[in-house]
A and B are shown apart, each in its own frame.
Chain A
Amino acid sequence: MLESSVVQKVLGAALRSGGEWAEVFVEDRTASSGRLDDGRIEELSSLRDRGAGIRVVIGETTGFAHTADLSENGLRIAAEAASAVARSGGGGVKEVALTRQTQPSINHIVTMPETVAKADKVELLKRANVAARGEGNSISQVSANYADIRRRILVANSDGLLASDDQVRTRFSVTAVASGDTGMQTGYKSTGFSMGWELFDRVDVESMARGAAQTAITKLKARPAPSGAMPVVLAKGSGGVMFHEACGHGLEADAVQKNTTVFAGRVGELVASPLVTLVDDGTMGPEWGSFSIDDEGRPATYNVLIEDGVLTDYMWDFLRARKAGRPTSSGNGRRQSYEYLPMVRMTNTYVLAGQEDPDEIVRQTPNGVFVAHLGGGQVNTATGDFVFGMEEAYLIENGEITEPLREANLIGNGPEVLKNIDAVGNDFAMGSPGMCGKNGQSVPVGDGQPTLRVSSMTIGGTAS
């Protein structure tokens, strides 16, 4: 993407005015997407974006500038802007010798989406539309979206690191609207992997579309969700987002170092039910949140965060690891694009399978809520209070799954909910691809869990 001699000169320029450490991040991004709505292919869209972000660190201060001008001169100007914060420091020429790191790619892309005919992408959307509408006359509207993105990155820093990655992700989603006497309801299914076009060998878009339509139709008959505290059973792969919110964000080292998380200073303590082992794993095959290197050039790693209920470690990026005196980050330094500073982010966050028969967990729940699919959520890490939405849920009555429920948020407190997990199934599934937002940046993340039960959570419905 850039000659290493140019990168070396830019790093030199960034350090000249007193910076202690400098980094160049170059990104070349191409994306294509297609949208079907209202029975018609509305639009195909293409995107091309490239540029570099340059970071200079002195003491506790980071200077950052980015540019879309990848010429040596353009990069030099950005480097000088980034190092402006370091002006008070000492000068002197600093030489940087770069060593290329080779990281085996986890991304074995079989068919690059850019080589696939646009007509084939359009065909997928049309098939999904027909399949969803075929589920019944109550399906009144369908939209489907296809998107692929290829992100080539190069990272070099003044420690001599030089690494690159070629990240490809493909996703597909369908939303159906069903209309009836009770109004309108929606059903949504999505899939996304760090894969190319071969995703569609694994995923049948028609069955996804039928699933979205069935969810919408089922919800027409749904009754209002209960209001108040009761047991909640999460189906496998339905609600990894709960852990993402309940503790994932609270285990990010930037929050820990500012003491803005209820999990700060608690390594070695029991913070969850002993049934819970939580992992953040950027190496997990072609999952949505996987990559070979993070956006600071560190290889992705498998990090155990909570083991048998005991907090074992946090997630780290370069600056937070440096401050804590750790030799390296945990491969969790990520950024939305070259226009942003990296920070600590999750990758694929999941709970390991336990011992119990998932059907038995439901049978042993006299009354409660069974969640088939959770939507997004939000957490306040300082208090631990979090919410997430139930997109598809059912009542459990006398140990059996009965009536569908209308959408509602669940609300809980991270440390309390983690302790209230009283059953973990021996099954496991990853959930839908997610986009995690933090401080104005959005990155792809995955989540997963076995079937499990929280003994009590507040369900924010309207039925008494």
Chain B
Amino acid sequence: MSDSNELLDLAVKIAGWANDGEQVEAYVARGNSTTVRVYNADIESFSSAQEEGVGIRVIVDGRQGFAYAGSLDLEVLQDTISEARDNAGFAEYDEFVALAEPDGVPFADIDLFCPSLLNVATEKKIDAAFELEKKLLASDSRITTVPMAIYGDEWSEVALATSTGITAWQQGNDCALSTYCLAVENGDTQTGFGFTVAREFDELDMDKAVADAAKRATQLLGATKPKSRRLPVILDPYVTSSFLGVMGFPLTGEAVLKGRSFFANRVGETVGSAAVTLVSDPTDTRSLSANKMDAEGLASRRVGLIENGVLSGFVHNSYTARRSGTQSTGSAVRSMKTTPTVGCRALTLQEGTQSQEELMKQVGEGVLVRSVSGLHSGVNPVSGDFSTGAEGLMFRDGQLAEPVREFTIASTLQRMLGDVVAVGNDVEQLPSGLSMSVAIGDISISGE
């Protein structure tokens, strides 16, 4: 959309406002999006949105201040840097607080921008949402309601410049179809969701979104509450990705430095079963969270975290790296409205060799967990205790059996890593990154 580097020029200009003895970082972003929601063969809403904003960090003598403004007007930018500068005066000194500096690691050749998406006619987007609803309703007679069928796309560009010499810019876009449905049979109602995300419109896999939503809802019909007991479970790829989302926290340099990581001081030790190899790899272009740069403008890189069960390291941004006496792993993350922190980007398990069916055969009896709920309230990433709501299907002798709902699965993150029996080869491209089925040997099921 913007092939000039107007936005980067602006970021560089702001970074140039640094006074003597001051470091300034400008993170400037803008984007637009379209969302079409269809319900009952009618357009429920059509939204078109533009947004832009700038986050400015000022560091003076080991003190950091930040301010954000949702405008790129010059006058507003000047107010914003003054506000950040003023805020810096109230932070307390930390010798390690400083902006990132160029580290010579080249940017991987990752192009997240797809020009053809910009040329998709609005009518075509609307038709896709209509078709999604129609196909889902027609896919199974038990599907009675499709409360929403949504098409959405977005384009964004980000420019980052610092007074320490970093300049980075990138743009990207993607599109998605998402939906959910109700299935009803014999007075029982169940729900299922499905989605597809792609960088190009023609790569959207509508049939998969429809099949996933229909399968999730109809397979759960007649589900009952299971008995409380301990059992093996197999996590569906989507559920695995939810757990990866919480597993990242103790693997950050920040959690380690601040005494919130149960992995602290354990590098080189066995922290999981030999089946567990965990990497943060935003350079893997198969991942929808691939990205050439991190939130401080450093190049993305592959970071090995756990290798065959042995803890190999942590992810760092420039602050946690400096304080730990190491190099940034290009793992700064942020939103436009906040300062960078550190996180596992594109965190994934190394795939195994078995399909989900083969995993069920290997395990024999257990629960195939199709979805989890309450992860934000049910996982304490500091203690590692977790307990989440779950739905899914029992399996016996490697074969799917009756559906189950309204139960929880509980363990600790530490124990679960040790209880991984095998990782599947059914790699899916999910919004958070690559994911696959995982078999866990022993989990507490709470139901009746």
Contacts and interface: CB of A to CB of B under 8 A. Distances in A.
A460 B191 contact: no
Contacts of B257: 38
A65 B45 CA distance: 11
Interface in A87-138: 118-119, 122
Contacts of B444: 227, 460-462
Given A44-B66, A407-B385, A409-B388, A64 B339 contact: no
B171 interface: no
A322 to B, nearest CB: 14
A179 interface: yes
Interface in A22-64: 34, 37-38, 40-51, 59-64
Interface in A392-440: 406-409, 411-413
B37 to A, nearest CB: 9
A160 interface: no
A228 B226 CA distance: 10
Interface in B45-99: 45-53, 64-71, 76, 79-80, 83-84, 86-88, 90-92, 94
Contacts of B262: 183-184
B115 interface: no
Interface string B341-385: 000000000000000000000000000000001101110101111
A67 interface: yes
Contacts of B258: 37-38, 141
Size bin of chain A's contact surface: 35 or more
Contacts of A375: 377
Nearest to B447: A458
Contacts, number: 253
A367 interface: no
Given A44-B66, A408-B408, A409-B378, A177 B42 contact: no
A140 interface: yes
A258 B446 contact: no
A225 interface: yes
A461 B446 contact: yes
B260 interface: yes
Interface size class of B (residues with CB under 8 A): 35 or more
Contacts of A382: 182, 189-191
Contacts of B69: 47-49
A218 interface: no
A409 B387 contact: yes
Given A377-B374, A388-B377, A41 B191 contact: no
Contact of B145 (A46, A51, A260, A380): A260
Which of B46, B257, B374 has the most CB atoms of chain A within a 10 A radius of its CB?
A: B374
A63 B49 CA distance: 11
Contacts of A49: 53, 68-70
A411 B191 contact: no
B448 A229 contact: yes
B139 interface: no
A184 B225 CA distance: 32
Interface in B383-435: 383-385, 387-389, 391, 405-411
A409 B374 contact: yes
Contacts of B145: 258-260
A82 B47 CA distance: 7
A141 B373 contact: no
B50 A66 contact: yes
Given A46-B83, A65-B47, A65-B48, A460 B92 contact: no
Given A341-B47, A388-B374, A407-B383, A45 B147 contact: no
Contact of A409 (B337, B389, B405): B389
A47 B90 contact: no
A459 interface: yes
B407 A458 contact: yes
Nearest to B217: A382
A68 interface: yes
Nearest to A122: B90
Given A37-B258, A38-B258, A458-B406, A46 B446 contact: no
B22 to A, nearest CB: 16
B406 A411 contact: yes
A411 B389 contact: yes
Interface in A251-267: 258-260, 262
Nearest to A82: B48
A382 B191 CA distance: 7
A93 B98 CA distance: 58
Interface in B185-228: 189-191, 225, 228
A97 B410 CA distance: 60
A376 B374 contact: yes
Contacts of A67: 50
B49 A65 contact: yes
Nearest to A406: B385
A334 to B, nearest CB: 16
A260 to B, nearest CB: 5
Given A46-B66, A227-B410, A260-B147, A177 B87 contact: no
Contact of A377 (B70, B71, B337, B377): B377
A304 interface: no
Contacts of B407: 411, 458, 460
A84 B43 CA distance: 12
B44 interface: yes
Q: In the A-B complex, list the 8 residue pairs whose CB atoms are closest, starting with the nearest.
A: A460-B408, A389-B377, A387-B374, A387-B389, A49-B70, A44-B87, A376-B377, A408-B387
Given A48-B79, A409-B410, 10 more contacts: A44-B65, A44-B91, A45-B66, A66-B50, A118-B87, A177-B259, A225-B410, A228-B448, A385-B405, A387-B378
13 contacts: A41-B91, A44-B65, A45-B339, A60-B39, A68-B71, A140-B259, A183-B262, A185-B383, A388-B374, A406-B385, A409-B389, A461-B410, A462-B411
Interface of B: 39-40, 42-53, 64-71, 76, 79-80, 83-84, 86-88, 90-92, 94, 145, 147, 182, 189-191, 225, 228, 230, 257-260, 262, 337-339, 373-374, 376-378, 380, 382-385, 387-389, 391, 405-411, 444-448
